[in-house]
Amino acid sequence: MNAMKLSLIRSACSGLRVHPRSRAGGWTRRCPTVGPAAGQSTFRAASDATGRGTSAKLGLHLRQQSRKTDGSECAASLREVVQHTKDAMDVLQRRNPPIQPLLAIVQAGEDDSLLEINKKMAGKIGLNITQICLAKQFSEDEIVEEVLKLNEDPRVHGIYLHLPSAALTTRVLETLKPEKDIDGISDLNIGRLVRGDLSKGFVSPLASAVLDVLEKHDAPLEGKTVLLVGGEGRVGSALQCLIERSGMVALKNNWNLEILQRQVMQSDAVVLLGGGNIDILPTCFRPGAAVIHCEPTLESDDHAFELSSRSGIGYLTAAYRAQNVVRSCSRWIQGQQYRPWRLRSLKLQPLTPVPSDIEISRAQIPKPVNQLAEEVGLLPEELEAYGRSKAKVCLSLLDRLHTQPDGKYVLVAGITPTPLGEGKSTVTIGLVQALSAHLSLNSFACLRQPSQGPTFGVKGGAAGGGYAQVIPMEEFNLHLTGDIHAITAANNLVAAAIDARMLHEATQSDKALFNRLVPSVNGVRKFSPIQFSRLQRLGIDKTNPASLTPEEVTSFVRLDLDPSKITWQRVVDTNDRFLRKITVGQANTEKGQIRETGFDIAVASEIMAILALADSLEDMKNRLARMVVGTSRSGQPVTTEDLGVSGALTVLMKDAIKPTLMQTLEGTPVFVHAGPFANIAHGNSSVLADKLALKLVGRDGFVVTEAGFGADIGMEKFFNIKCRASGLRPNVVVLVATIRALKMHGGGPNVSAGAPLPKEYIDENLSLVAAGCHSNLKKQIQIAHLFGIPVVVALNVFKTDTQAEIDLVCEIAKGCGASDAVPCNHWAQGGRGSIKLAQAVNEAASRPSNFQFLYNIEMPIADKIRTIAQKVYGADDIELSPAAKDKIDYYNQQGYGLLPICMAKTHLSLSHMPDKKGAPTGFVLPIRDVRASIGAGFIYPLVGTMSTMPGLPTRPCFYDIDLDPVTGEITGLF
């Protein structure tokens, strides 16, 4: 057989599951399928429209034919193609049992002749077929609509447009996905054929069938002349290309009688491709010339291998079409596998002095997010773009890459910080820039989304800084993809539901409440699904509302919330101190339902903590349903599911659960997701972002995520809460330190945001540095070792630091047990300034770790609190207030005793006393109260007074933030 003939699939991809979207229901309502054993076809008609019908039949009347191709030639090829395709199909399904390749035929009218031929081939090979029948009169829009649906359906592996040539407009062909164009009519597939690149595209099945018959008819083919009659379309062009690549000469005639007879006399074969009606004299044919009819006439005999010359080409074409469908399915499976990265880094040209953050950000043009996604192995259908520079990533990625080994997991934590922050975000970004852009190691940064509270308040944004930033930084810091707004909406819906329910219970009888909560619709009264959950919690095993007893009706309709024990507050993502305590219900319409409540900042909402800890949409829904909003007068917890609002919360959060993809200044990928407080919550980015990134980077790649505040808070909660929830185990801890923070812990004066730094922090002072290293730095290294994880100290270098101070820190850190300690200059140099850190992390990650939790989850609540206080903070013991003891007893009674602990304490000291620096000892940790986030899944003891609503300073950051109305550029962000 000729070498240019399409090769057959002899192997298939292994180890892959069906794309999650293929599990969606409703398939038979849109595209009914014809399986291999089905007895008859099924149809779906489209709306009527004007247009042409199917193409005219082919017709060349031969008074005598020199040599007509017989059915045996087609039958031999047919058996061979069918057998090879069946073999490929068997291998494909043996390795991927859920996969069933599907061919979709789009045609005008309900003519079954073509379907019958393809159905017979499907039955022999094992394909499914669906037939979509447009009206006889159809429009271009209808074709495009059908093609778009089939393009996006992962169950469809091949699309055959059996339509008139005039209907295959440029718009239609541009809409058709080349990877599903199994008839090879799209521009890309025709172009690939012309170039001779058959590794990705498809060749017309009819052209392949004709070439096959020519090969069987007379060999060798080289130098033969083939006349194509009526082949002005794309199929004719494809056949001409195949013929010429096989060494033959192709002549074309579009039914021009004047030259047709002369061309027939010159030709070794005549292929009839188009409609026409011309008589040819027998003397016109060369002796032994073949005549191939391309009209697919269906024979009445069901035995597909007993073929005439006309029906033979039809069946052989159908066999090649089926082969292309199997090949398309195999390619789709291969496309679902892990894709090696092809990351193109962006070049940096650092300036001295270093410009402002926003100037640096604006000077770098980010890659289009779809390009970045492709570089890191994401599929187009896994991306939901929000503009040019950011996009949501679908969780279906986890199903697609479920067999892919995780990469290495790195946590960036810090020593106890000054109020100015020590640069964990910049270290995180500088590290991934160094790993990917300079060491060519796949790496992902996973960061929290910043609240607009600090952005407009005192601290500014959280996109990093200098030449280690996420870009565009203004988009990162302002709104992003609206996740915090979704949390605000969901949180406040719960608050509204609480107050409304209390009002209605206070002003209505049991019967009135029941009739409104379970209304009669068209004479039928029934419970909604979420109400069955409440009935189950109450121990009522009934499905008919009419069967409830009066006592059961009362239990069902009355949550009986105690106003003094409502724990749920409203939220807003602004530092607004005057909302810390408010009074609601003062209007006359609220009928005296007045109570005190307050606002938290949006990122302090329990819904934010849930977003960060959920590992699937279902898990998030269950966690949202478990949230406790208060306690009834009888002492029972009341949940959002009891309120009937948890399903609506999931709807509001359905997009927020998807991480947002962005990039660093050097074009390396970043996931931005979630932003829980690091005091009353766990202060880490999301489990889902980490899991997605760990799959994408590959076995030898790195995922670098950041913990809030110092290692005593963010890191401890990362290990004991987030790692318990996710099942993930870190390989390395990067502990960020600054010389100014070490000087503060060594006895230096206090530091205040906005105030000039005292001279001790500007001038060299080795004694303060050494004291800070031997106290706070040493203690934080020891905390990491409690969990069995190696530590690399990253010294974030400032321009006021001296070389002697830098060398001293690195020397003492190694002496305190760090695997390595390196200075980092990423702020001024980008990834190049963190190459040594990247090398140290890579080396530390290659060593075995012995991760362990700090406490057993089954320990009593008080003992878990005590373990953290003594081993992490250095306290002698804890002191529980009477209120804290009562709460612990209550939580044990309600079955919450097995939850992990999330300590709420100051971040400015290892102790509960903000002014106690270094590594305090000899103190007792006071626990004034104990609260629970049941949906998030932790108990949080309160150590001192925690503010969940920051206030604005005298001169907030918003004084400097403005918009240029001419250019549209934002100024003042830093």
Which of 637, 653, 669 terminates a domain? The answer is 653
pLDDT band of 609, cuts 50, 70, 90: very high
pLDDT at 461: 63
Q: Is the pLDDT of residue 12 over 60?
A: no
The DSSP line for 383-414 is EEESSSS-EEE-THHHHHTTTSPP-EEEEEEE
On the question of pLDDT at 130 being above 70, the answer is: yes
- 543 and 553: one domain? yes
pLDDT tens digits, one per residue of 704-751: 999 988 999 999 999 999 999 999 999 999 999 999 999 999 999 988
- Please report, for the domain that includes residue 703, its CATH number: 3.40.50.300
Length, in residues, of the chain: 974
Question: Does 3 fall in a domain?
Answer: no
Coil, strand, or helix at residue 730? coil
Q: If we measure between CA atoms, which residue out of 109, 108, 128, 110 comes closest to residue 118?
A: 128
Residues 477 and 560 in one domain: no
Q: Are residues 139 and 164 in the same domain?
A: yes
* Structural domain contains residue 145: yes
pLDDT, average across residues 454-478: 82
- Among 198-207, 278-287, 327-336, 948-957, the minimum mean pLDDT is found in 278-287
Q: Are residues 936 and 902 in the same domain?
A: yes
Residue 29, domain member (yes or no): no
Residue 35 is predicted with a pLDDT of 44
C-alpha 659/C-alpha 672 separation (Å) is 6
Looking at every residue in the chain, the average pLDDT score rounds to 87
Segment 668-686 mean pLDDT: 91
CATH of the domain at 289: 3.40.50.10860
The whole-number pLDDT of residue 323 equals 95
231 assigned to some structural domain? yes
476 and 493 assigned to the same domain: no
The reported pLDDT for the residue numbered 550 is 95
pLDDT number for residue 218: 67
143-152, 256-265, 898-907: segment of lowest average pLDDT: 256-265
> 772 and 678 in one domain?
yes
Does pLDDT of 863 surpass 80?
yes
User: Tokens for 607?
Assistant: 């819904």
Same domain, 310 and 457: no
CATH code, domain with 579: 3.30.1510.10
Residue that has been written with the tokens 């040599």 in this structure: 67
Assign 230 a pLDDT band (cuts: 50, 70, 90): confident
Taking CA atoms, 966 is separated from 356, 387, 970, in Å, by: 21, 21, 11
- Please give the Cα distance from 300 to 744 (Å, whole number): 94
Of the residues 815, 846, 877, the one at which a domain ends = 846
**795, 818, 846 — which closes off a domain?**
846
Same domain, 307 and 221: yes
pLDDT exceeds 50 at position 39: no
Identify whether residues 677 and 647 lie together within a single domain: no
Residue 416 CB coordination number (10 Å):
30
What's the CATH number where 917 sits? 3.10.410.10
Residues 624 and 685 occupy one common structural domain = no
Query: What average pLDDT score do residues 598-602 get?
Result: 93
Parallel, antiparallel, or unpaired: how do β-strands 595-597 and 582-584 relate?
antiparallel
| Across 425-438, average pLDDT | 97
Asked whether the predicted pLDDT for residue 200 surpasses 90, the reply is: no
Mean pLDDT of 250-270: 83
Residue 296 has pLDDT above 60, yes or no: no
**Based on the domain organization, do 691 and 815 belong to the same domain?**
yes
Is pLDDT at 243 greater than 80 in this prediction? yes
d(CA 645, CA 637): 16
Q: Is 719 in the same domain as 785?
A: yes
pLDDT > 80? residue 275: no
Return the pLDDT at 264: 87
The residue type of 786 is: L
What is the pLDDT, as a whole number, of residue 38? 36
Judged by average pLDDT, the poorest of 184-188, 269-273, 759-763, 887-891 is 269-273
| Residue 241 lies inside a defined structural domain of this protein | yes
Residue 338 lies in a domain: no
pLDDT at 822 over 80: yes
pLDDT at 424 over 80: yes
Kindly state the DSSP code that residue 947 receives in the 8-state scheme: P
Catalytic amino acids? 424, 426, 448, 459, 678, 709, 798, 827
Q: What pairs with residue 104 in β-bridges?
A: 130, 159
| pLDDT reported for residue 60 | 44
Is residue 967 situated within a structural domain?
A: no
Return the closest-CA partner of residue 736 out of 941, 942, 470, 468: 468
Residue 741 lies in a domain: yes
Give me the domain span that covers residue 191.
69-332
pLDDT at 492 over 70: yes
Number of domains in the chain: 4
pLDDT exceeds cutoff 60 at 29: no
Q: What is the pLDDT of residues 897-907, one digit of tens each?
A: 999 999 999 99
| Gap between the Cα atoms of 900 and 864, Å rounded | 8
* pLDDT category of residue 974 using cuts at 50, 70 and 90: low
Residue found under tokens 């349903």 = 625
Higher pLDDT among residues 960 and 719, named by residue: 719
pTM for the model: 0.86
